[in-house]
């Protein structure tokens, strides 16, 4: 990931805070700050498919975040001081989680459509759609995953030995 050309050229990067069953992103987040890039993380709105990408001030900033009912760290609902990526310069790159992927770039998420809806919003932003890279374990690569018409394909899937 760190040596990937799209990562190297990106200034504004969104990345998920990993759950125990996902690729661990802590070292990538540290590197984002080490390289002087801007880091954005998801804030999911419960009972909807709305998600924002909010700016972290440092890797240590993660320890100040609230734990949701889904056991995910994210900025609290009343945290209005953080920049939302689409309220500013948009994003260059989004690292995406998922449960399964196929080699055509289809992604099976957790069923709420948060990333698909967010990418639709990105496409309306002046900076356009960011490059998307899914982070996966080799075991998550399938022959095909079910897709709906509003699902947005990822540009690239990174996994061991890919």
Is 22 annotated in some ligand binding site?
Answer: yes
Is 82 annotated in some ligand binding site?
Answer: no
* More confident position, 72 or 86: 86
Q: Secondary structure of the chain in the HEC alphabet?
A: CCCCHHHHHCCEEECCCCCCCCCCCHHHHHHHHHCCCEEEEEEECCCCCCEEEEEECCHHHHHHCEECCCCCEECCCCCCCCCEHHHCCCCCEEEECCCEEECCCCEECCCCCHHHHHHHHHHHCCCCCCEEEEECCHHHEECCCCCCCCCCCCCEEECCCC
pLDDT tens, residue by residue, 125-144: 999 999 999 999 999 999 99
Is 128 annotated in some ligand binding site?
Answer: no
Q: Per-residue pLDDT for 111 more than 90?
A: no
Is 108 annotated in some ligand binding site?
Answer: yes
Q: Per-residue pLDDT for 56 more than 90?
A: yes
- For the chain, the domains span 5-158
pLDDT tens, residue by residue, 76-108: 888 888 999 999 999 999 999 999 999 899 999
The CATH fold of domain 5-158 = Rossmann fold (3.40.50)
> Mean per-residue pLDDT for 61-68?
90
> Mean per-residue pLDDT for 106-131?
93
Please give the pLDDT value at position 162: 62
Taking the C-alpha atoms of residue 68 and residue 46, their distance in angstroms, rounded to an integer, is 9
* More confident position, 47 or 9: 9
Is 110 annotated in some ligand binding site?
Answer: yes
pLDDT level of residue 46 (50, 70, 90 thresholds) = confident
Is 7 annotated in some ligand binding site?
Answer: no
> Mean per-residue pLDDT for 64-69?
88
Q: What is the pTM assigned to this prediction?
A: 0.94
Is 131 annotated in some ligand binding site?
Answer: no
pLDDT level of residue 149 (50, 70, 90 thresholds) = confident
């Amino acid at each position: 990931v760190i040596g990937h050309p799209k990562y190297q050229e990106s200034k504004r990067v969104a990345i998920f805070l990993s759950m125990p069953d996902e690729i661990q992103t802590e070292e990538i987040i540290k590197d984002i700050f080490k390289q002087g890039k801007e880091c954005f993380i998801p804030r999911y709105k419960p009972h909807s498919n709305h998600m924002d990408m909010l700016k972290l001030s440092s890797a240590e900033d993660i320890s100040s975040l609230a734990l949701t009912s889904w056991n995910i760290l994210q900025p609290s609902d009343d945290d209005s001081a953080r920049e939302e990526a689409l309220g500013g310069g948009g994003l260059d790159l989004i690292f995406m989680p998922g449960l399964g992927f196929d080699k055509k770039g289809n992604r099976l998420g957790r069923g709420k459509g948060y990333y698909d809806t967010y990418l639709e919003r990105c496409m309306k932003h002046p900076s356009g759609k960011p490059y998307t890279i899914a982070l996966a374990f080799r075991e998550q690569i399938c022959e095909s995953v079910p897709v709906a018409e509003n699902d947005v394909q990822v540009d690239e899937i990174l996994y061991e030995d890919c």
